């Protein structure tokens, strides 16, 4: 018997990585609440800071300088990060809904998903205009706009609909950047810019001095401003205003009044006619308790304000306090936003205009002031974060104290082992009831029913191929963890050329309230079952237990023709070495644990791990691969050494030909290594030569999770094999060739 860690008692879920939520994340990282599981759900891994968007478009900032890395911030906060898009909300069941994953439950919910320009009322806007919001999508599309302008024959015509601060800044930023890029390309044909305002002036919410300054600046820059020109239709190649006048355009950006996503209203939350969530002075929904909203998606009914990033920033600290109070069952504290605020509006170049009350000023000094403020804000959520989250370094917040929480904590003080450590029948049965295993031929007794053991049949003349893997969770998302674990376990089956048949699962869930144990099991097994079903395998049973960490193991069975099995041995001199996935998983996740890997690198690695090896295995089998293995824990060099040892052969590999995951070289240069690396590097004794100083060299010994297949292909079948792999959606790489083994010669020669 042993004491259990503090169980999960309540779930605080943040939807969206907006400016208010980044304050909440940092606050909970500095002072966590024992018993509270924090989850961030975000469509974007890197959330753009709106104040630096014009500077990013103009080329003054890099992507990373203008974005907050939510993966890294969530890691600091001790929060789960689910990279997905919420599509619905069930306020009665207190669950969030998704397209492709199970619902996520909450006890307290906060929504900070920003806004999107209201284009639906204007015909053609959705089809032919690029919206400035959500900002993340604009940043992705900006490169496409740049490419089209640079490739255009003649002068490009660009229109911006909306002449508020956002539209005016974007117009001048795009103009500045495109002019510079065209000059660099030797093209002196400046783009033609049109700015459309439904009002009688530009920046209508600012004072007269600011409006006068921008009328002058726009005129000096050659921007054609169309005042009192309300766009009523967007055409494939232009826009039409209320007077019927048409303006031919090649690119159209939309920056008019904000709109909201539909799912909060569809869920029954009280919303404005525009779909914004109505909140009171505590930022809590006026219609539903324990549902909060902040930023552009929220409308404070007693203090309506325009949609501006400054208000979202100011709402961050009071939102954090009131979320804590809601978790403790306490009444929230009222927050009153300011009415006036300082605006620093940039003009594309390193120049800006200041606006406050009836005052205005302009100059390079204003830009430097703005740049200082923006960089200082960003440092709070990047450079100023400690290496580890403050959960281990500061006093935690108050422990949850309601009656049910006390009872759960009392039950958790001493936990039994053996059969007493099993997960109870209730949550287990409910979690399994939501799983739909594949109905597989040959499964006599499977997951459904009261039997304690599965029974399967093997077709006559075939053999069963079996493998087992077990992992402690290496990512915060139980659904993705389940998918990747299943893919990894299936890798050994596919490397043998076998057909996946069935699997048994061993699932461990952290101690928590019964409903939360059920959800953890459901999400993890749902993800695993999806991967198994896609591979043609049935989940036929298993075992569950409680433990300190979420964990999953799978024992997988495949069926194969014994005469067509692929083996590690069999490689012949002259065969080509083909690898189907990039490497670098171990180093990236080691860096991520220290908060030193960017979110997009981890997302890319997760996407690679989610890709099945099934199609690649069938291609290798069909085209006569002489040997095959999956590249996993022992790293590329270790698994290649096993293959060569079993084949009594040697190999030459080209380091520069080995595909690498994004960021793998960067984290390796920074000194990050997996904890298994010291054991893996022992295989270096079998390596001759080798460019030890090359940044990618250590990645030869990097352990992979759900890595690709490494196969040896005869020369006559190489072209057809590579073509078939590409048709199957793989990205194969030729990394070397098999050579004869010689007495005393190292088995692997590495060339740069």
Nearest-angstrom CA–CA distance, 283 and 285:
7
Q: Are 196 and 162 in contact (CB under 8 A)?
A: yes
Nearest-angstrom CA–CA distance, 256 and 121:
11
Strand partners, 467: 556
Element (H, E) at 177: helix 165-184
Note if 628 is an active site residue: no
Q: How far apart are the first and last CA of the chain?
A: 55
Q: Are 588 and 664 in contact (CB under 8 A)?
A: yes
Nearest-angstrom CA–CA distance, 137 and 126:
14
Q: Please, is 642 exposed, middle or buried when counting C-beta atoms within 10 Å of its C-beta (0-12, 13-18, 19+)? A: middle
Strand partners, 576: 713, 737
Report the side by side order of strands in the sheet with 88-90: 88-90, 95-97, 104-105
Query: In the block, which residue shows the tokens 């059920």?
Result: 518
Say which of 245, 416, 419, 730 is annotated catalytic. Answer: 419
Nearest-angstrom CA–CA distance, 741 and 748:
10
CA distances from 728 to 358, 581, 722 (A): 64, 13, 10
Cis bond before residue 49 (omega within 30° of 0)? no
From 142, 139, 141, select the one nearest 48 (Cα to Cα): 139
Nearest-angstrom CA–CA distance, 360 and 209:
6
Nearest-angstrom CA–CA distance, 410 and 419:
20
Side-chain half-sphere exposure of 604, counting CA atoms within 13 A: 16
Which residues are within 8 A (CB) of 741 and not within 5 positions of it... i.e. 6 or more apart? 644, 648, 649, 650, 747
Strand partners, 419: none
Catalytic residues, which ones? 419
């Amino acid at each position: 018997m042993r004491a259990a860690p503090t169980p999960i008692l309540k779930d605080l879920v943040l939807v969206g990585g907006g400016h208010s939520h980044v304050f909440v994340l940092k606050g909970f990282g500095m002072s966590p609440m024992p018993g509270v599981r924090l989850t961030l759900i975000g469509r974007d891994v890197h959330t753009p800071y709106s104040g630096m968007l014009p500077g990013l478009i103009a080329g003054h900032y890099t992507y990373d300088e203008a974005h907050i890395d939510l993966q890294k911030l969530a890691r600091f906060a001790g929060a789960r990060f689910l990279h997905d898009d919420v599509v619905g909300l069930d306020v009665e069941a207190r669950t969030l809904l998704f397209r492709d994953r199970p619902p996520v439950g909450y006890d307290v919910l906060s929504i900070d998903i920003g806004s999107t320009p209201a284009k639906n009322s204007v015909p053609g806007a959705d089809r032919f205009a690029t919206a400035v919001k959500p900002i993340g999508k604009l940043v992705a599309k900006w490169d496409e706009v740049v490419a089209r302008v640079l490739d255009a024959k003649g002068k490009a015509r660009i229109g911006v609909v909306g002449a508020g601060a956002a539209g005016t800044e974007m117009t001048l930023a795009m103009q500045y950047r495109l002019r510079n890029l065209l000059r660099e390309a030797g093209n002196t044909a400046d783009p033609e810019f049109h700015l459309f305002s439904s009002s009688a002036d530009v920046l209508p919410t600012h004072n007269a001095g600011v409006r006068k300054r921008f009328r002058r600046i726009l005129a000096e820059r050659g921007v054609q401003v169309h005042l009192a020109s309300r766009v009523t239709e967007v055409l494939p190649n232009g826009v039409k205003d209320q007077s019927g006048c048409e303006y031919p355009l090649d690119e159209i950006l939309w920056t008019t009044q904000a709109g909201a996503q539909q799912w909060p209203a569809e869920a029954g939350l009280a919303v404005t006619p525009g779909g914004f969530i109505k909140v009171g002075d505590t930022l809590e929904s006026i219609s539903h308790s324990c549902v909060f909203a902040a930023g552009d998606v929220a409308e404070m009914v007693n203090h309506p304000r325009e949609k501006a990033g400054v208000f979202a920033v100011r709402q961050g600290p009071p939102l954090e306090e009131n979320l804590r109070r809601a978790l403790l069952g306490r009444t929230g504290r009222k927050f009153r936003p300011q009415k006036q605020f300082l605006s620093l509006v940039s003009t594309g170049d390193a120049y800006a205009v200041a606006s406050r009350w009836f005052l205005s000023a302009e100059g390079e000094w204003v830009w430097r002031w703005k740049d200082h403020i923006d960089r200082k804000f960003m440092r709070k959520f990047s450079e100023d974060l400690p290496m580890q989250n403050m959960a281990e370094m500061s006093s935690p917040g108050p422990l949850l104290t309601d009656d049910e929480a006390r009872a759960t904590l009392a039950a958790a003080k001493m936990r039994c082992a053996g059969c007493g450590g099993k997960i109870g029948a209730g949550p287990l049965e409910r979690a399994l009831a939501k799983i739909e295993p594949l109905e597989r031929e040959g499964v006599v007794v499977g997951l459904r029913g009261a039997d304690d053991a599965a029974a399967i049949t093997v077709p006559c003349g075939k053999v069963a191929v079996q493998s087992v893997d077990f992992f402690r969770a290496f990512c915060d998302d139980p659904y993705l963890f389940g998918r990747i674990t299943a893919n990894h376990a299936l890798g050994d089956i596919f490397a043998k050329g076998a057909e996946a048949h069935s699997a048994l699962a061993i699932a461990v869930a952290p101690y928590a309230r019964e409903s939360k144990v059920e959800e953890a099991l459901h999400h993890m097994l749902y993800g695993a079952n999806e991967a198994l079903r896609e591979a043609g395998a049935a989940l036929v049973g298993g075992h569950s237990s409680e433990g300190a960490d979420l964990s999953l193991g799978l024992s997988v069975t495949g069926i194969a023709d014994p005469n067509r099995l692929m083996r590690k041995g069999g490689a012949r001199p002259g065969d080509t070495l083909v690898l189907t996935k990039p490497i670098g998983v171990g180093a990236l996740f080691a860096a991520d644990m220290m908060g030193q890997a960017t979110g997009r690198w981890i997302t890319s690695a997760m996407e690679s791990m989610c890709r099945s090896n099934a199609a690649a295995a069938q291609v290798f089998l069909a085209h006569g691969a002489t040997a095959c293995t999956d590249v996993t824990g022992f790293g590329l060099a270790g698994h290649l050494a096993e293959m060569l040892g079993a084949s009594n052969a040697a190999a030459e590999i080209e380091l520069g030909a080995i595909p690498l995951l994004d960021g793998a070289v960067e984290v390796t240069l920074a000194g990050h290594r997996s904890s298994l690396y010291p054991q893996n590097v022992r295989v270096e004794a079998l390596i001759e030569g080798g460019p030890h100083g090359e940044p990618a060299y250590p990645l030869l010994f990097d352990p992979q999770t759900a890595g690709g297949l490494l196969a040896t292909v005869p020369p006559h079948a190489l072209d057809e094999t590579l073509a078939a792999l590409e048709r199957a959606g793989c990205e194969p790489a030729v990394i070397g060739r098999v050579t004869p083994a010689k007495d005393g010669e190292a088995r692997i020669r590495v060339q740069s």
